[in-house]
Amino acid sequence: MSEVPSVEDVQKLISRGPYHQWLGLKVMAVDDGIIELTATWREEWVVNPDRGYTHGGILAALVDLTADWAMVSKTGRGVPTVDLRVDYHRAAMPGMLTIRGEIVHFGKQFSVAEAKVFDKEGRLLASGRGTYLTAPPA
């Protein structure tokens, strides 16, 4: 792609996915190799009702899809995940989450991006790095 797509255009692409809709994803910013999203916290994300914190799988999904969508300025689309590593830093409690993704390396076949999930106070909850298949579709 020659120019960075608009926030509105990326929002339309992301909103096509029912899972993305369920996560309540909103595109806040898009730049060359960078994206920022928010996710609307849901009661269904709670893994432990006594403690009220969010299941790690939700945080891993947010890391994965944000790192993936950091590629949109280069590919114009979401891309398949080849490998993913996630680290958890603290429990995610109820509240809006902000996720920032950035390309680390963009290659002809495979690319690498990182993402970080923050709570409403700006505390780091989870971070990760993924490898993505960015070769043009056959």
Digit-coded pLDDT (tens) for 11-30? 999 999 999 999 999 999 99
| Predicted pLDDT of residue 45 | 95
Residue 73's pLDDT band (cuts 50, 70, 90): confident
| Predicted pLDDT of residue 2 | 60
| Predicted pLDDT of residue 1 | 54
Task: Please provide the average confidence, as pLDDT, over all residues in the chain.
Answer: 95
Burial (Cβ within 10 Å: 0-12, 13-18, ≥19) of residue 89 = middle
What domains can you pick out in the chain, each with its CATH number? Answer: 7-133 (3.10.129.10)
| Predicted pLDDT of residue 57 | 96
Question: Minimal CA–CA distance to 52: which of 38, 63, 62, 42?
Answer: 42
Chain position carrying tokens 């060359």: 32
Give the mean pLDDT of 103-117: 97
Q: Is the pLDDT of residue 38 over 80?
A: yes
Give the mean pLDDT of 23-50: 95
Q: Name residues whose C-beta falls within 8 Å of residue 128's C-beta, 6 or more positions apart in sequence.
A: 60, 63, 64, 67, 84, 85, 86, 87, 114, 115
- Amino acid at the residue 75: T
| Predicted pLDDT of residue 78 | 87
Give the mean pLDDT of 87-108: 96
